[in-house]
Structure 1
Amino acid sequence: MLEENDKSEAQEESSTKLEENSEDEPSSSEYDSDTESGEIDEQDLIVRSPEQKTNGTVLKEDQDVIITVFPLREKTSSGGETESDEDEKEEEEQKEEEIPANEDIIAKAVRLAKNERQIERKDIPVVLTSIVAMATVIYLVVTILGLTVPARPLVLSRGAAKPFFMPHQRKLIEDSYDGAIRLSRNNTMSVVLLYSPYSIKSKWFRDEYYSSAKSLKKLHGELTPYFGATNCFDTNSYCRRKYNLKQYPALMAQNAAGMASVYNGPLVSSYLTRWINRLQTPLFRLHSTDDLMNLAKNHDLLVILYYHIRTPPTTYQSAVNFTKLAFHYLDGDPNTERVIFCMVTDANLAAQFQLHNEHDVVLVSSELKLLATHYMGWANEALYNDIVKFSKLATQKKIEFLNLGKRFHSTQLAEKLDKGSVLLYFTKPLSYGNDKYKMLRGIVEEYRTCPEKDMISIENEAEEEAGKFMEDCSVSLESSFCKANNTLSFMMIDSKVESALAAKYGADKEDMVVAINSKQEITRFIRKNITRENIVCLIRQHHNAADNEFVTESTEIITVRSSTPPNIHCNAVGEPSYIRFVSNTSELLASKKINVIMFSGGIWHSASSSAIAPFHLVADHFKESRNLIDFSMVDVSETNLPYNLNFDKLPKILVTSADSVGLSWTYPEEFMINHTNIARFVLSRPGKIFGRLRWMDSCQGVCRKNARREIQNERLQLKRQLSRNVANSVRQREKLGYYDKMLRLIS
């Protein structure tokens, strides 16, 4: 009871204090006047929390707080209040009356904040929609402007030119990376490289160029040529405006007299060094006939000028023109090294060379035969054309060097193979006049030596037959194949320069000689032990096979087997073909083996010619199963076939079985003719003999050796059993015959 009385007294005291405070507060009329004037103090809107002092008193949580809210009034344009404003004011007063006096102030503030947040959340989609619409409009405007207004190209500032060669390389090579062309100032020959800093070939050739400069510096000392390099890719440079090159690098040389030569050889240091040395001494002076004989041993064409040296020199510049011609022709191609330019100054010696007048020029072959004569007043162009013509003739008769070099998409090798049989000699390093070249050159001279047509000779048939299949490969080739078909042409290839081609033939690691006949699909080769005797043996075997086993150039089918001794096929020479040409198909159909027969339309039938190569590959694939399968070829244009073998389309491949006579399968026309399809077609045929063929095809190498060993052991045990028990030996003897048959197939 006492506590309740105390509470009631405290409430009365608080109410009296509030009344006193209310007297001090402004009246509602005063507040309205303040709001109407638009000036409201922030202190008038402060809401005091519980336990906050108010005019010196402390309000507790359980005490009732009376809150008076004064709504703001809006003025009309005339300065008075409208009826709608009065209605809103009355509604707000009614709502305020409904609010209980003891409602928590903090809860009310939280509720108001939530209402504001809900209003803000409702506005978010509207804001996003407006942003998207604005972005779409901006994008459309920019797009339209981009389509209508012409765009300017982006031009990047060109960076400063940089040196192309390394610092240690610039000690021997003057790098004009600014695009200027600089020549020697010391009356020596100038060698200038025109490069592009972005060309991969130029970057690769940079070290080779430095190697040549370094080696020539050691060789010539102070008389070494001037080596320069110019950036010819810069569009603002003098070099680009003058030459406008399409391919890089380019190399040119110029002597002190202004005679120039452009390099057209392989981008290798050894070839470049030989070219520069040759240009430094373009002419060779003949002092005697011995000099001419020595030069004829190593060169195929000699160009000789008769010039009498006088002091002062004559006005006729034949020597100068002759030197210009030599500079122009010697372009670094290995095939140009077969030509040598000479000069005769003695009248008596010139008369021996049929040079009767001064300034005359003669062309002489390596056999010292006079080919052409150009008299005084000759023109450089006419003499140059004759040199090119006779050089090509010498190339066809002697040895040609493969020079793909800078000639992109060259057809030199394809043209050589298209003309007929070719003997390719892969070696490295290759240079004109070295020991390997001299060895092959001697063989070629023997091979090309034939009796003169005007001479009368007595032919001995016995000697002719003996020479046809000569076992001794050391015997000379003179007059051996003068009338033979498929005459060989000879080509030497540097394996280091043409590494991709050498890898294709397997000659990238060691020297190799290959005899190729592209028309008849014959390829024979020699590896490692390359001697004169082995090359001669390869040439003889090439002609023997071409004349006796394959179609000759006269399209004649030769079915008689060659009587070549078996020991002529030495280990150094490649294996012969496993396909034989036949004219009697009845023998093949009655054979006890599997026969794969290809019916060809002849050498002029393109579809048949394209199928020869895969057919050879299939025959080579089954070479270890020759006891079970044979491969044959029939030329329909030269052979009379029975009616059941008259095919509508050629080529046609027929597979016969040894299990039953007359059983055969024809290769489907919808299948592509390649060696994998043919091999699968043969192996998929039904029958016992095809099962054995499948086993032998899957079991090779170590598997076949193990199988042979097991069969031999079982055969030995079976023979021991037969020696002990002879009475019941029929089945054992049959099994022994089976083992013998399997051993013959495996071996």
Structure 2
Amino acid sequence: MHEENDETNEPEGSKTPVERKEDSFEEESHSSQESSSEQQSEAGDENKEEVEGSDEEPIDEDVIAQAVARRNTEKNRILRDCGVLLVATAALAIMIYLLLTLLGLSMPSRPLVVSKGAAKPFFHGVHRKLIQDNYDGTIRLSGNQTMSVILLYSPYSIRSKWFREEYYTTARRLKKLHGNLAPYFGATNCFDQNSYCRRKYNLKQYPAMMAQNSALMGSVYNGPLDSVYVTRWLNRLQNGVFRLQSAQDLTTLSKNHDLLTILYFKIKTPPQKFQSASNFSKLAYHYLDGDPNTDRTIFCIVTDSQLAAQLQLHNEHDLVLVSSELKLLTTHYKGWVMENVHKDLVKFSQEAAMKNVEFLNLGRRFHSTQLAEKFNQGSVLMYFTRDLNYGNAKYKMFREIAQEYRTCPEKDFISVDSETPDNFDLDCSTSLKGILCEANNTLSFMMIDSKIENALAAKYGADREDMVVAINSKQEITRYIKSNITRESINCLIRQHHNSADNSFVTESTEIITTKTETPKDIHADAVGESSFVKFVDSTAELLLSRKINVILFMGGIWHSASSSAIAPFHLVANHFKESKNLIDFSIVDVSETKLPYNLNFDQLPKILITSADSIGLSWTYPEEFMINHTNIARFVLTRPGKIFGRLRWMDSCQGTCRKRAQREMRDDRLQLKRRLGRNVANSVRQRVLLGYYDRMLRMIS
């Protein structure tokens, strides 16, 4: 009806009452039809819900089954995908590893850059009570008027770490000795490249130590890294110059020192403008560097004009050098230069060491040639002892023996004047004075601290007890004394050393027999021990042409550490084959002193070469991958092929009663063969050859 009204667009007022009634009636009928249709639709919906309610159970079961199946399928798919992913990841990792490995093999390695760590204190705990640790690289000196001792260390140096406790021990000793006047002890980390210490000194070896007094006079330590030596050095610097007040003081000092440096200086107030006393103190500080050999020199000052005149010091500020025999060596007049005086000090100190006793100082002098130079000069008498101190009883005894040995009427200390045989008819324990003046008197005396030079002491077997060793010009041990070391026994050792100095083999003596009643004519027969089976050779031509088995050790000199470590096992092998000396020889060739042919110019030392007597030119070189010890060398020698090596193996396996029985059987067979040869002269060629074989075998066994 609304549509009709819309279409006709007629107003309601134009209709008649009858028409309005018909319209209302149609609207009521139409609304009743709509309500009935809505009721029918609601009833239909309820019927549908009932029908769906009746079919609800079978429909839910299918959905659950499908969901479970779908979930299992997805789970299997996920597991399969995970497996594929893991396999792919592993394959990728392997490919990356192989790629990096190939790149690492083909490309040069680069240095690993480590980030710089923060500086840390080097001294800890109780050490810092006596030592100020400047681990930031700064150098601080004493704030008062005491001496300053500075240790320049590297926290990564093993020698610095080892010396840390020794440095603290030195500070504690001087604190106990001097109290409040003790030196100031400081330590500076001199390894950091950005620090002031590294920029100023640029050290290559650690640690280093220096001392400086309040007048800015400095001294750099050059002695062994031991608290005893450092303490002695600082005490000498505390009292660097002595004052001579009488001639008796001069005599006392000359008995204990080999060289005296004396300055004539008058103490005046106010001080003089000429700084001779100050320069003299600087000279003492510079020369006294902790080397034990500098203790033989003492610095003195004379203020009395009469005493100065006795020393030929006629003008003030003059300086003289005097020997222990109170002989004037040289004079430096007023205006002397420190460098010239220092040169004379070094020169005359070395001459005094040749005539007296020299200390071996290798503790700070890396790659030092001090001992090698002594060996090149001639024979050396070395005294190994602990607690070595300049001026103690052992040093005084050894120094007196050296002075007595050098006392000759001609006062010629280095030449050989005559070939007259020595007078050994006297008791060997008596004085050496004047006895050896006609002999080869190039023997030098050296004292070695076995605690500091423990490696060298262990090489000679002197690491546990005192020992005196005599070594000839060929660097071979001729005699040695252990434990009971007296002046008489050393005198006997020197005499026996001169008697056996020309022997080609080393003769060792476990003790020196001091005969006080009668000495045999041949004093060498009085020696106890046996010859060594290793000899030093100057030419390899004879060894290569020898008809024996030659085991040759090519070494790089006494200061080549690897060669020195190979000497002891080489001697043990030679001693092992001492019963077979008719078949095998052991020799040592010093490459540093011997010119070798081109085929023996080895790239690496030491090297052991074995030559065969079966064929000239046939040789074997000891493998580099084998450790050099006596068992390996002996096994390598015995496993070489050849007839002569077979005999050597038999000699090595048959010893003692076995060899005696074989020798007896060969003698019986030889005797029977000789008897048959006497009866049957016509067919004697084969028997004579066999007889020669028995003779050679008997010589080999005997």
TM-score relative to the length of structure 1? 0.62
Counterpart of 1:363, as a letter, is L
Distance (whole Å) between structure 1 residues aligned to residue 437 and residue 46 of structure 2: 142
1:543 corresponds in structure 2 to 498
What is the deviation of 1:667?
7.1
Aligned with 1:343 (options 282, 290, 301): 301
**1:189–1:255 CA contact under 8 A, matched in 2:** yes
RMSD: 5.1
- Specify the SS of the correspondent of 2:188: strand
1:592 corresponds in structure 2 to none
What is the deviation of 1:523?
4.1
Distance (whole Å) between structure 2 residues aligned to residue 165 and residue 419 of structure 1: 45
Q: Does 1:524 align with 2:479?
A: yes
Distance (whole Å) between structure 2 residues aligned to residue 200 and residue 671 of structure 1: 41
Q: How does 1:185-584 map to 2 (within 5 A)?
A: 185-452=143-410, 467-470=422-425, 472-485=427-440, 487-517=442-472, 519=474, 521-547=476-502, 564-565=522-523, 568-570=526-528, 575-577=530-532
**2:152–2:207 CA contact under 8 A, matched in 1:** yes
Distance (whole Å) between structure 2 residues aligned to residue 251 and residue 170 of structure 1: 18
**1:189–1:225 CA contact under 8 A, matched in 2:** yes
Gaps of 5+ in 2: 1-40, 98-109, 507-519, 537-546, 553-563, 588-598, 601-607, 623-629, 661-699
Residues 93-152 of structure 1, C-alpha deviation per residue, up to 9 Å, x if partnerless?
xxxxxxxxxx9776666666677778889988998999999999x99xxxxxxxxxxx9x
**Alpha carbons of structure 1 residues 355 and 131: separation in structure 2 relative to 1, 3 Å:** closer
What is the deviation of 1:480?
3.2
Residues 462-509 of structure 1, C-alpha deviation per residue, up to 9 Å, x if partnerless?
xx75x4434622122223333434832221111111112212221111
Residues 719-738 of structure 1, C-alpha deviation per residue, up to 9 Å, x if partnerless?
xxxxxxxxxxxxxxxxxxxx
1:57 corresponds in structure 2 to 54
**1:421–1:486 CA contact under 8 A, matched in 2:** no
What is the deviation of 1:688?
12
**Alpha carbons of structure 1 residues 340 and 121: separation in structure 2 relative to 1, 3 Å:** closer
Q: Does 1:184 align with 2:142?
A: yes
**1:194–1:250 CA contact under 8 A, matched in 2:** yes
Distance (whole Å) between structure 1 residues aligned to residue 359 and residue 247 of structure 2: 29
What is the deviation of 1:437?
0.8
**1:333–1:403 CA contact under 8 A, matched in 2:** yes
**Alpha carbons of structure 1 residues 678 and 618: separation in structure 2 relative to 1, 3 Å:** farther
Counterpart of 2:371, as a letter, is L
Counterpart of 1:352, as a letter, is Q
Distance (whole Å) between structure 1 residues aligned to residue 619 and residue 187 of structure 2: 60
**1:511–1:528 CA contact under 8 A, matched in 2:** yes
What is the deviation of 1:229?
2.0
**Alpha carbons of structure 1 residues 469 and 672: separation in structure 2 relative to 1, 3 Å:** farther
What is the deviation of 1:195?
2.0
What is the deviation of 1:180?
2.9
Residues 391-444 of structure 1, C-alpha deviation per residue, up to 9 Å, x if partnerless?
112222222211112222222222222333222211101111111111111111
**Alpha carbons of structure 1 residues 484 and 261: separation in structure 2 relative to 1, 3 Å:** same
Residues 602-659 of structure 1, C-alpha deviation per residue, up to 9 Å, x if partnerless?
xxxxxxxx99999976664455678x889799xxxxxxxxxxxxxx99x99999xxxx
1:604 corresponds in structure 2 to none
**Alpha carbons of structure 1 residues 131 and 309: separation in structure 2 relative to 1, 3 Å:** closer
Counterpart of 1:369, as a letter, is K
Gaps of 5+ in 1: 1-19, 28-43, 45-52, 68-102, 140-150, 552-561, 582-594, 601-609, 634-647, 656-663, 709-744
Counterpart of 2:267, as a letter, is I
**1:696–1:746 CA contact under 8 A, matched in 2:** no
Q: How does 1:79-94 map to 2 (within 5 A)?
A: none
- Specify the SS of the correspondent of 1:246: coil
**2:465–2:483 CA contact under 8 A, matched in 1:** yes
**1:471–1:568 CA contact under 8 A, matched in 2:** no
1:670 corresponds in structure 2 to 619
**Alpha carbons of structure 1 residues 128 and 620: separation in structure 2 relative to 1, 3 Å:** closer
**1:264–1:406 CA contact under 8 A, matched in 2:** yes
Residues 636-689 of structure 1, C-alpha deviation per residue, up to 9 Å, x if partnerless?
xxxxxxxxxxxx99x99999xxxxxxxx85676313499748974999867999
What is the deviation of 1:194?
1.9
Residues 38-93 of structure 1, C-alpha deviation per residue, up to 9 Å, x if partnerless?
xxxxxx9xxxxxxxx964437777xxx8x9xxxxxxxxxxxxxxxxxxxxxxxxxx
Counterpart of 1:414, as a letter, is A
Counterpart of 1:669, as a letter, is L
**2:150–2:187 CA contact under 8 A, matched in 1:** yes
**Alpha carbons of structure 1 residues 440 and 164: separation in structure 2 relative to 1, 3 Å:** same
1:558 corresponds in structure 2 to none
Counterpart of 1:329, as a letter, is Y
Distance (whole Å) between structure 2 residues aligned to residue 368 and residue 666 of structure 1: 67
**1:486–1:546 CA contact under 8 A, matched in 2:** no
Distance (whole Å) between structure 2 residues aligned to residue 25 and residue 212 of structure 1: 113
What is the deviation of 1:171?
2.0
**1:521–1:612 CA contact under 8 A, matched in 2:** no
**1:358–1:376 CA contact under 8 A, matched in 2:** yes
- % identity of equivalent residues: 59
Distance (whole Å) between structure 1 residues aligned to residue 378 and residue 345 of structure 2: 25
What is the deviation of 1:280?
0.8
2:20 corresponds in structure 1 to none
Distance (whole Å) between structure 2 residues aligned to residue 221 and residue 612 of structure 1: 51
**Alpha carbons of structure 1 residues 667 and 335: separation in structure 2 relative to 1, 3 Å:** farther
Distance (whole Å) between structure 2 residues aligned to residue 254 and residue 460 of structure 1: 53
- Specify the SS of the correspondent of 1:335: helix
How many residue pairs get aligned? The number is: 548
Counterpart of 1:405, as a letter, is G
Counterpart of 2:619, as a letter, is E
**1:420–1:486 CA contact under 8 A, matched in 2:** no
Counterpart of 2:302, as a letter, is V
**1:596–1:632 CA contact under 8 A, matched in 2:** no
Counterpart of 2:446, as a letter, is M
What is the deviation of 1:596?
5.8
**2:610–2:621 CA contact under 8 A, matched in 1:** no
Counterpart of 1:215, as a letter, is R
What is the deviation of 1:576?
3.8
Distance (whole Å) between structure 1 residues aligned to residue 574 and residue 423 of structure 2: 28
1:169 corresponds in structure 2 to 127
TM-score relative to the length of structure 2? 0.65
